[in-house]
């Protein structure tokens, strides 16, 4: 599915289609690999947890409750039928491309239509019960060499430990995601700071204890294989605040900060994170520009991550100024930027990663991880950034089964792009082959410090 390739593109794709998969950033559940239990029913597999899927159904007037979302009782077969009845809504979207890959290549079931929904449901359910469709078996079949999850700074990482202890041959590493203890806008911020004290044994009432606790948590993550941190922010803002001002600000933001105080504190803490990276070597990721939970009724009823996160315009140059001018020339730092504002690809990000030694540009993210999104990314980025300032690919998915589909879509996009470049005589086929390999796995390994 996706991209019928011919000529040079087909030739390049041939050379990378079977390369192992590195998944250095994503949202898979580590318990899958720790427990190796079978995946639940087809609705749980393909509809209920996938915000790409249910947002589209919701946009066409289907209540989320009818999809089994929000803790209601539901009949998985009925949910799957609704999905099949509305399968045409996904025409033209990468979700359809990915799910077709899962259905027809990974699971090998019949063509999905409203009429075949029942049969396909049974076929999927039967497969999920087979040993070769358990998480660890699929991990191996997919040819994954390592997979990073994304975990709260407060997480005990027990599943990662179990996964390591089980010695089944897979590599599941955590990623340090401390937003909950850095961002005063998080409703649980103050409670999280207290929980941070518990898990670290530090007195997080003082700024010093708080910073020490963070350093310690990072080392804990690193001890379980983590090579990276991850940070999410709506509006990019960084700002260095001197200690005399920071200590009282830290005390204030714990209870009812003003928006400005919250932004300033978080903006400072991002620089602290970058500085800690100089010491512990964790690669820093910044995902910016998503306005979260824009539908208040949905947030109240169903919680976060329910398809109402919408991108906004992002200003990278001024927003990162303070961070970059503090640590951006230090060769020890790697900071990977992810944007949802494609207008910044050519305008800001490509020139920035083409100058600052610490910066790398992440692959097309979220809505832009698609055939046209990938083409726009290369078109806008490469001429200024070159290839070696890119971070390669990551699938960023919480749908484990879609991983091969997403990497395949990327690889086809890489082949299509490089063939275009060869055709424009930017370089020849031999250089294109080297670049194809870099974009498939080399750059990701190097950028995330996950060399096998």
Nearer CB in complex with its own copies: 195/347? 347
Nearer CB in complex with its own copies: 154/232? 232
Residue among 26, 51, 29, 24 nearest 40 (CA): 29
Closest approach of its own copies to the CB of residue 201, in Å: 38
Closest approach of its own copies to the CB of residue 393, in Å: 17
Residues 6+ apart with CB under 8 A from 132: 138, 141
Nearer CB in complex with its own copies: 151/396? 396
Residue among 359, 300, 297 nearest 333 (CA): 359
Nearer CB in complex with its own copies: 401/435? 435
Closest approach of its own copies to the CB of residue 58, in Å: 6
How far is the first Cα of the chain from the last one, in angstroms, to the nearest whole number?
Answer: 30
Nearer CB in complex with its own copies: 89/224? 89
Which secondary structure element, helix H or strand E, spans residue 100, and what is its range? helix 94-100
Residues 6+ apart with CB under 8 A from 355: none
Nearer CB in complex with its own copies: 155/369? 369
Closest approach of its own copies to the CB of residue 172, in Å: 30
Nearer CB in complex with its own copies: 197/235? 235
Q: Which pair of tokens denotes residue 24? A: 């250095």
Closest approach of its own copies to the CB of residue 280, in Å: 19
Number of Cα atoms under 13 Å in the Cβ half of residue 396: 19
Nearer CB in complex with its own copies: 148/308? 308
Three-class SS of residue 229? Answer: strand
* DSSP string covering 256-316: S--HHHHHHHHHHHHHHHHHHHHHH-PEEEEEE-EEP---HHHHHHH-SSSS--EE----H
Residue among 391, 394, 286, 287 nearest 23 (CA): 394
Closest approach of its own copies to the CB of residue 249, in Å: 24
Residue among 92, 136, 106, 1 nearest 46 (CA): 106
Q: Which pair of tokens denotes residue 444? A: 């990701």
Closest approach of its own copies to the CB of residue 278, in Å: 15
Integer angstrom CA distances of residue 123 from 109, 111, 119, 129? 6, 11, 6, 10
Residue among 343, 398, 325, 388 nearest 361 (CA): 388
Closest approach of its own copies to the CB of residue 223, in Å: 28
Closest approach of its own copies to the CB of residue 409, in Å: 10
Nearer CB in complex with its own copies: 91/244? 91
């Amino acid at each position: 599915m996706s991209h019928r390739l011919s000529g040079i593109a087909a030739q390049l794709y041939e050379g990378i289609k079977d390369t192992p998969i590195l998944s250095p950033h994503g949202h898979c559940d580590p318990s899958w690999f720790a427990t190796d239990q079978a995946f639940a029913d087809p609705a749980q597999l393909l509809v209920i947890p996938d915000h790409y899927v249910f947002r589209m159904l919701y946009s066409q007037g289907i209540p989320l409750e009818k999809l089994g979302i929000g803790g209601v009782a539901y009949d998985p077969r009925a949910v799957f039928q609704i999905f099949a009845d509305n399968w045409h809504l996904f025409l033209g979207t990468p979700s359809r491309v990915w799910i077709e890959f899962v259905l027809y290549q990974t699971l090998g079931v019949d063509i999905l239509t409203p009429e075949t929904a029942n049969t396909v449901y049974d076929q999927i359910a039967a497969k999920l019960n087979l040993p070769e469709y358990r998480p660890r078996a699929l991990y191996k079949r997919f040819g994954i060499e390592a997979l990073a999850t994304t975990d709260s700074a407060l997480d005990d990482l027990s599943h990662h430990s179990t996964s390591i202890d089980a010695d089944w041959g897979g590599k599941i590493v955590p990623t340090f995601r401390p937003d909950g203890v850095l961002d005063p806008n998080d409703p649980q911020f103050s409670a999280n700071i207290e929980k941070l004290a518990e898990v670290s044994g530090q007195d997080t009432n003082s700024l010093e204890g708080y910073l020490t606790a963070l350093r310690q948590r990072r080392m804990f993550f690193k001890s379980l294989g983590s090579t990276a941190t991850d940070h999410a922010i709506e509006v990019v803002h960084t700002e260095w605040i001197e200690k005399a001002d920071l200590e009282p600000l830290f005390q204030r933001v714990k209870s009812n900060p003003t928006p400005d105080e919250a932004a300033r504190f978080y903006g400072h803490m991002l620089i602290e994170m970058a500085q800690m990276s100089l010491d512990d070597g964790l690669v820093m990721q910044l995902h910016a520009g998503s306005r979260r939970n824009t539908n208040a009724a949905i947030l109240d009823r169903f919680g976060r991550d329910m398809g109402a996160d919408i991108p906004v315009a992002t200003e990278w140059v001024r927003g990162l100024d303070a961070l970059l001018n503090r640590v951006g020339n230090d060769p020890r730092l790697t900071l990977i930027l992810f944007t949802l504002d494609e207008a910044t690809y050519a305008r800001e990000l490509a020139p920035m990663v083409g100058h600052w030694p610490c910066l790398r540009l992440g692959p097309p993210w979220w809505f832009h991880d698609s055939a046209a999104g990938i083409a726009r990314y290369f078109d806008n980025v490469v001429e200024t950034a070159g290839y070696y300032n890119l971070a390669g690919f990551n699938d960023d998915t919480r749908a484990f089964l879609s991983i091969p589909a997403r990497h395949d879509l990327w690889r086809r996009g890489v082949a299509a792009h490089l063939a275009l470049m060869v055709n424009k005589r930017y370089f020849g086929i031999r250089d294109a082959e080297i670049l194809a390999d870099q974009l498939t796995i080399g750059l990701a390994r190097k950028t995330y410090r996950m060399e096998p």
